[in-house]
Structure 1
Amino acid sequence: MTRGELRIYLGAAPGVGKTYTMLEEAHRRAERGTDVVVALVETHGRRHTQAMLADLEVLPRRTIRYRGVDFTELDVDAVLARNPELVIVDELAHSNVPGSRHGKRWEDITELLDAGIDVLSTVNVQHLESLNDVVAQITGVEQRETVPDAVVRAAEQVELVDMTPEALRRRMAHGNIYRPEKIDAALGNYFRTGNLTALRELALLWLADKVEDQLGKYRTDNKIDATWETRERVVVALTGGPEGGTLIRRAARIATRTAAPRSGGADLMAVHVTRNDGLAGADPATLARHRVLVESLGGSYHEVAGTDVPQALLDFARAVNATQIVLGVSSRGRLAQLLSAGVGVTTTALSGTIDVHLVPHERASQGRSARRIPPALSRGRRLAGYCTTLAGLPALTALLSLGPSLSLTNDILLFLAAVVGVALIGGLWPALLAAVAGSLLLNYCFTPPLGRFTIAEGDNLLALAIFVAVALAVSWVVDTAARRTRQAARAGADAQILATVAGSVLRGDRPLTALLERLRETFTLDSVTLVDKGTVVAEVTRPTDPLPPATPLPPTALPTAPLSPATPLAPSPPTVSLPAASPPTASLPAASLPAAEVKVDGELVMLLRGHPLAASDRRIIEAFAAQASVALRQERLTAEAATAKPLAEADRMRTALLAAVSHDLRTPLASAKAAVASLRSDDVHFDEHDRAELLETADESLDRLTRLVTNLLDMSRLQAGAFGVTATAIGAEEIVPRALDDLGPDGRTVTLHIPDDLPALHADPGLLERVLVNLTANALRHSPAARPPVITASSHGHTVEIRIIDHGPGIPENRWPEVFLPFQRLGDHDNHSGVGLGLALSRGLTEAMHGTLTPEETPGGGLTMIIALPTSSPGTPT
């Protein structure tokens, strides 16, 4: 059976017209003769959307009863039984009611697709799993219903239903999206112009990635290697040399200048071609610094393996559909360039339609500095090789001279075996000595005329020449194999160390400290210190036993000032003092001075104290240092973000407070002012009834003003942590009726269900009463007259829960976090609702008493507020 095709209409926000556009497509398909049915469409009361359903066949939904309430969901069985060619299923990310066939609607759609039925569906960008946290950060609203990106990317077609923020807000203001009572709140919160602009950009970028994936798949399926310049992509080739920084910055400038207007810049990718054998190549520390630089400029870093560097580079560039390659001018000398074209020239010749930039730099054409090749074998083995040569060859000569006479060919083979043995024992140079000495001994002792360094026959000359050549070749091969074995072992050890480092850093809460500690443990150092501009920013030391009492030292041996983590480093004296926070100050011997000093970047330096380090360890230590720089930068960015977050929150609170003061505080003040001014006026004479009414208005307005100011002050004290709490044991059956009495006649309509055997609460009676009054007043305001609020209490272990239950319109679950934000009034649009501090203050007061305040959906509709407080016991915190 052929699997059905999925077409998804993607929108940046609710109301852009996804469902309407989807139904338009359904009508077009139906007019062309396609069998179309509507399985589920959420119209949300929008009349234009409802009108689009008029001429389409609509299947009944499945009814599921959950917690005493009937819900309707997609009836998968009904769709499968009807078996249409095309089915319409709205809201791809919807979570099904418990008891449904699947937990998510996209799973229902997958079953329909597997049955060979084509599906049209819709989804908003905020429901995509990969963007969920980004949308929450932008809008302040966390979306609980999400769909995996892979489900949407797997769709055969994804169509963006786009609308400018201004047009969407006009639709909202005209009542085409939400009911009139919700319009003001929506425009002032989720549907702000900035939010909609950001969501629109997210949708466009996500869809651009989807289109890029489709283009890449098409090029792969059709084996298209030629570059299609649909988007500028700049690839910079890195060798691991010091010129890499220059190349990266030049490539970044090229990427910026060659980008299309307002496209946000071209893609920048850095690539390093490593050898296929995985042995030593470029400096890992330098490559790590280059990676950091590329990523800081908005690019990405890649490594590919290959023996032919130009071909590997071009294969990578064509695979990513690159349009330009940036290379450095060859740093080889002129003679080397004459003998070989080099990577740059070869890449340019083979690049085809890809532009190649050869960038000059300081090391261009200067030649590579010669470096000493370290010996492949240890000094002991080389010495053993020389000893074997000096002792073994004379012994072999004596044995062949005194033993049975052999042909020259056999003599040469035995000497060749001796040379191979020396090569295996001592490596290249002892083997070369053995080859030369062996050839001389063969010539003098076994090649006619004997006893002379001459050769009478040409065949013997050829045999000796072959002997020398084979001996040299074997010696070189053995030495090379030993060197490669050593390099492979070293590379494997370095890779294991770096893998362990990466794991420890990822698992640690403080990556910089974890990285330095791992470096100290790996090389068994006494301490590792990271210094930035002369100031210690991080340090780890070997755990030691407490120091014995300090021995008096001559004044000349004492440092002039102790070194502390916040003190700039002075030039290294003969002795270094312990940090001031350590036990008694004593001086350390000069042996504890830095065993190595690694410059990381700029003025960032890593000091390593302990035993002397081998020169071969410096490469891996520099890689550690480069990662330490990255970890330090991340920690600083995290700290800056943590510092900026309270400032942003304070700014938001200040803005909201100004908005509240401009209306909610000014309204009762204006009413009181008008009443008092009327009473003081001599132009109008009021009777006793009018005077009493004006005084009552002024009194009520001032009472409202007092409550608002009190709430504002209490909220400020809560946020400053200066709110006093006097907790004591109190029974819920005592405090709840007292709170209802404060509500006057309305409080007597509330139904109570409080058990007599409920344990006592540990709370502040005054604060708890205030919380109960706030929550019950809210419940009374939203509950219908026929179904007043209900207050129940129950015990759960060491906690007592008080539930304030209303049966009003309720609040969607995805907006529950908003109800506790200061200056939020969800569903309230009158002039007597206050500044929206009631629930925020109630939660703050509850948490100050070591309790919690959480919302819950009321079965049958409405909202339940749950106050959870600890019971009174000897161990209860105060």
Structure 2
Amino acid sequence: MSRGQLRIYLGAAPGVGKTYAMLEEAQRRRDRGTDVAVGFVETHGRQHTLEMIGDLELIDRRTIEYRGATFTEMDVDAILARRPEVVLVDELAHTNVPGCRNAKRWQDINELLDAGIHVLSTLNIQHLESLNDVVQTITGVPQRETVPDEVVRRAEQVELIDMTPEALRRRMAHGNVYRPEKIDAALGNYFRVGNLTALRELALLWLADKVDEQLDRYRADHRIDATWEARERVVVALTGGPEGDTLIRRAARIADRARGADLLAVHVSRNDGLAGADPALLAKQRILVESMGGTYHQVIGTDVPGALLDFARGVNATQLVLGASRRGRFAQIFSRGVGVTTTAESGAIDVHLVTHAEARRGRLAQPSATSALSTRRLLAGYALAVLGLPLLALVLYQFSDLNLGTDILLFLAAVVAVALVGGMWPAILAAIGGSALLNYFFVPPIRQWTIAERENLLALAVFVVVAIAVSATVDKAARRTREAAQAGAEAQTLATVAGSILRGDRPLTALLDRLQETFGLESVTLLEARDDAPHSPDRRQEMSMWRVVATVGGQPCFAPGEADTDVPVSENLTLVLRGRPLAAADRRILEAFASQAALALRQERLAEQAAAAQPLAEADRMRTALLAAVSHDLRTPLASAKAAVDSLASNEVDFDEADRTELLATAAESLNRLNRLVENLLDMSRLQAGVLGVSRRAMGLEEVVPHALDELGTAGREVRMRIPADLPAVRADPGLLERVLVNVIGNALRYSPPDRPPLVKASEHAGRVELRIVDHGPGIPEAEWDRVFLPFQRAGDRSNDTGVGLGLALARGLSEAMDGTLTPESTPGGGLTMVLSLPTAQAPDRVPEALPAGRTAS
């Protein structure tokens, strides 16, 4: 059975017409003879959507009882039994009621697709998992229901239902989206023009990325190598030379001119790992590319133009930026160079050859070739050439019966031995000296520097050429071996450097430790020029112009002039080393360490800035939550009280005594609720500021609990009490304890079912009195227990929630201020029990830990 196809109608916000478009498509398919059924469609009371359903077949929903309420969900089994060709399933991100087979509706849809049924569904951009936090930042509204991006990306078709913010707001104003009483609040909050514009851009960009993925997949499946200029992509080629900064900035300007263009930087490394670029410069250029919004890539290949074009075609690049050749005119006669070759073979890709200050100045300086062999081996090679060849000639001269060909072969073997020991130059000396000895001792006329026969002259010439060629080959192999070993060691060291940055809380210190260990140094210090330090020639020597950013080892250097070796990282940063001068061959890897040190410092400072901004962000979040909550919860009791008072003051209606009593009771209840809200806010502000006054004395719980119930308006009718008469007195502040009980018992009343009122019971244990407030409501999962004590948090998403979510947070803070604790427990049979523990009057006082200003005890 082939899998069904999923088509998703994606919108930037509710009300753009996703469900309507889905129903239109269903009607079209039904008219063409397709078997279409409606599995689940939510009209939200919109008349036009209801009319569009028309006579489409509706599959009955499943009814589920959960916590005393009745819900309807899509019946997956009924759809599978009916097996239509196409089924409509609205709201892809919906979370199913517990008791359904799957937790999420998209999982239900996967079952239908696996059964071969095609599905039409809808989704808003804010429900995508990857954009959830971005949408919350823009709108201030968290989205609890999300869908993994991969689920949507796997859909065969995603159609964007687009609408301008102004058009959507007009639809709302006309009552086509929400009921009239919700329109003003929606237009002033979530559906502001700025919010809708940002959400629309998110939807367009996300869909553009999906279309881009589909295009790449199509090109790969059909083996299309030609560039399709559907989207501008600018690739800049980096050699690791100093001209890289110029090329990157030029490529960034080209990308900026084409809005939405991608910027990619690529460096082609030789696959033998020997002809490497400057790693320090590449590290700096990578940071520059990423700071401009681009990405950095590295590929390996022997043919640099071919590897570069393969990469550009692979990413569907439209423009390629190269630097002008650094080689001189004479060198370009023998080889066209990378730039010219790439331009000739680029095809549809536009190539920009950018001039720069390094053009025609020659290649980058490579490590000195003389360092391939040690001094000891060079001396041994020269000694073997000077002493060994005359000795060989003397020995062969004693055996005069050997012919000239044999003598030449033996001398050639000696030259090869010299090359193996000392390299090319001792071998060349041996070849020239050997030819002279052969001429004097073995070529007629003997013991003369003349050659009588042309065959002997040719043999000596071939001997010299072969000897030099063999010695050069042997020397090159030795150098390559040494370079490969050095490259391997550098690669391993640089990999360790990168790992030092990725691991640990202090990557900069770890990196300096690694540098000190690698080169056996006494100390390694990163210095930064002070802000007021002038750029004078004496700055290197003045300690007052520098400050130590980080140091490891022994005595640090306080100025670059004190160091044995210093490596400038930037205009104001310098890495200084003490212990011993380092060889010039180590400079490249030192510069790589220096670049990584700058990156690690930047990373640490960004982490510090983020940590410093965290309290501000938290305070802003709290302030936003407070304003959002208070704007609603202050308005509700004020509106009720005002409506009651205005009605009583009106002369247009003559109220009887019962109506007047009811209106007065409504006003009193609303004002009491408003008073409790204000008291909670004031107590929380005092508690966070650390200025809450606590006056503890001995008192009985039977004195305080009834007062709390009276303030709640229960008068004991809706709360059961079980407080033993012999319960010892507690030591607490009466006013604060009453505030704690009002909040905790009020919370229990709010969530208790009518037939099972809360229970307040007390007991004494180990010098403390425990007061348990037991409710049999929906309860809270244990994983959420700590969260309910945070300010402005509410348990779940229930419509009967009231208040700003300060009750339990304030109750715990006040309890701890009285040397008590407030902890949650699960109620047997379902529900939540809050345990308030207070010291008895006879228990010794326990000194509470001081709380920092601005923090709430929790």
- What corresponds to 1:114 in structure 2? 114
Q: Displacement, 1:287? A: 0.5
- Offset, 1:818: 11
Tell me whether 1:468 sits opposite 2:464 in the alignment.
yes
- Alpha-carbon separation, structure 2, partners of 1:387 and 1:699: 113
Q: In the alignment, which residue of structure 2 is the partner of 1:295?
A: 290
2:425 matches 1:433: no
Q: Within 2, Cα distance between the matches of 1:128 and 1:40?
A: 20
Letter of the 1:624 partner, please give it: F
User: How high is the sequence identity, in percent, across the aligned residues?
Assistant: 64
Cα distance between partner residues in 2 of 1:414 and 1:586: 61
Two-structure CA RMSD over aligned residues (Å):
5.3
Give the structure 1 partner of residue 713 of structure 2.
744
- Within 5 A, what are the aligned runs for 1:442-453? 442-453=438-449
2:268 to 273, 277, 283: 273
CA distance in 2 between counterparts of 1:7 and 1:721 reads 57
Aligned equivalents of 1:327, 1:157: Cα separation in 2: 39
Q: Which amino acid aligns with 1:34?
A: T
Structure 2 CA distance for aligned equivalents of residues 192 and 810 of structure 1: 35
| Cα distance, 1:12 vs structure 2 | 2.8
Question: C-alpha offsets along residues 771-809 of structure 1, whole Å, 9 cap, x if unaligned?
Answer: 331354456568786775666899999998966758699
1:571 to 533, 538, 541: 541
Distance 2:560 2:201 in 1: 60
Q: Deviations over 1:466-490 (max 9, x none)?
A: 2222222222222222222222222
Q: Residues 603-628 of structure 1: CA distance to partner in whole angstroms, max 9, x if unpaired? A: 12222233333333322222222222
Unaligned runs of 5+ in 1: 260-264, 537-567, 680-691
Alignment of 1:780-819 (within 5 A): 780=749, 805=775
Quick check: 1:608 aligned with 2:586?
no
Query: Do the aligned partners of 2:22 and 2:120 also contact (CA within 8 Å) in 1?
Result: yes
Over 3 Å counting, the alpha-carbon distance change for 1:19 and 1:695 in structure 2 is closer
Matches within 5 A, 1:398-413: 398-403=394-399, 405-413=401-409
Q: Secondary structure at the match of 1:363?
A: coil
Letter in 2 for 1:340: S
Out of 351, 358, 365, the position equivalent to 1:363 is: 358
Aligned twin of 2:309:
314
Q: Residue 337 of structure 2 aligns with which residue?
A: 342
- Matched residue SS, 2:223: coil
Q: CA deviation at 1:210?
A: 0.4
2:662 & 2:139 partners in 1: Cα distance?
A: 46
Name the amino acid aligned to 2:161. Answer: V
Give the SS at the match of 2:220. helix
- Give the Cα–Cα distance (whole angstroms) in 2 for the partners of residues 762 and 604 of structure 1: 61
Q: Is the 8 A contact 1:739 1:770 kept in 2?
A: yes
Matched with 1:557 is none
Matches of 1:104 and 1:533 in 2, distance apart?
57
How has the CA–CA distance of structure 1 residues 157 and 492 changed in structure 2, closer, same or farther, with 3 Å as cutoff? same
Report the Cα offset of residue 72 of structure 1: 5.4
What residue number does 2:515 align with? 519
Counterparts of 1:73-92 in structure 2, within 5 Å, are: 74-92=74-92
Q: Residue 698 of structure 1: CA displacement? A: 11
Question: Equivalent residue of 1:375, what SS?
Answer: helix
CA-CA distance at 1:61 after TM superposition: 4.6
Matched, 1:25 2:20: no
CA drift of 1:271 comes to 1.4
**Alignment: residue pair count:** 820
Which stretch of structure 1 is more off in the superposition, 791-800 or 846-855?
791-800
Task: Kindly state the Cα deviation for residue 273 of structure 1 after the two structures are TM-superposed.
Answer: 1.6
CA deviation string 1:208-242 (max 9, x = no partner)? 10011111222223333333222222222211111
Partner of 1:625: 594
SS of the residue 1:748 aligns to: coil
> Contact 1:244–1:290 at 8 Å: present in 2 too?
yes
Instruction: Indicate the residue corresponding to 1:36 in structure 2.
Output: 36
Q: Is the 8 A contact 1:423 1:478 kept in 2?
A: yes
Task: Name the counterpart of 1:241.
Answer: 241
CA contact (8 A) 2:38 2:88 kept: yes
Q: Structure 1 residues 155 and 703, CA, compared in 2 at 3 Å: closer, same or farther?
A: closer
Give 3-state SS (helix, strand or coil) of 1:273's partner. Answer: strand
| Structure-2 change in CA distance of 1:825 and 1:867 (3 Å) | closer
Residues 393/809 of structure 1: CA separation in 2 closer, same or farther (3 Å cut): closer
Kept in 2: contact 1:42–1:90 (CA 8 A): yes
Tell whether the 8 Å contact from 1:810 to 1:857 is kept in structure 2 after alignment: no
| Residue of structure 1 aligned with 2:413, choices 417, 437, 449 | 417
Question: Does the CA contact (< 8 Å) of 1:728 and 1:762 recur in 2?
Answer: yes
Moved more, 597-606 or 83-92: 83-92
Higher RCO structure, 1 or 2 (CA under 8 Å, sep 6+): 1
Distance in 2 (alpha carbons) for counterparts of 1:810 and 1:78: 33
Taking structure 2 as the reference length, what is the TM-score of the superposition? 0.80
Q: In the alignment, what sits opposite 1:214?
A: 214
Letter in 1 for 2:110: T
1:40-88 CA distances to partner (integer Å, 9 max, x unpaired)? 3444555554554452333345566767777655544444443332223
Aligned to 2:742: 773
Q: Residue in 2 aligned with 1:455?
A: 451
Amino acid at match of 2:564: A
- The answer (yes or no) to whether the contact 2:560–2:574 under 8 Å persists in 1 is no
* 1:117-172 deviation per Cα after TM superposition (whole angstroms, max 9, x unaligned): 22222333333232233334444454444333222212111112233445445555
Which residue in 2 is equivalent to 1:508?
A: 504
Residue equivalent to 1:481: 477
Residue segments in structure 2 that go unaligned for 5+ positions in a row: 533-537, 650-660, 850-858
**Aligned AA for 2:591?**
E
The one-character-per-residue Cα deviations of 1:289-309 (angstroms, maximum 9, x if unpaired) are 011111111111111222222
> In structure 1, which of residues 717, 730, 737 is the aligned counterpart of residue 686 of structure 2?
717
What SS does the aligned partner of 1:9 have?
strand
2:162 is equivalent to residue 162 of structure 1: yes
Q: Distance in 2 between matches of 1:363 and 1:379?
A: 35
Aligned AA (1:311): G
AA at the equivalent of 1:243: E
Contact 2:637–2:671 under 8 Å retained in 1: no
Q: Is the CA contact (8 Å cut-off) linking 1:504 and 1:515 kept in structure 2?
A: yes
> CA contact under 8 A between 2:96 and 2:105: conserved in structure 1?
yes
State yes or no: 1:597 paired with 2:572: no
Further displaced range: 742-751 or 485-494: 742-751
Q: CA deviation at 1:179?
A: 6.2
Residues 699, 732 of structure 1: alpha-carbon distance in 2 compared, 3 angstrom cutoff? closer
1:749, distance to aligned residue in structure 2 (A): 1.2
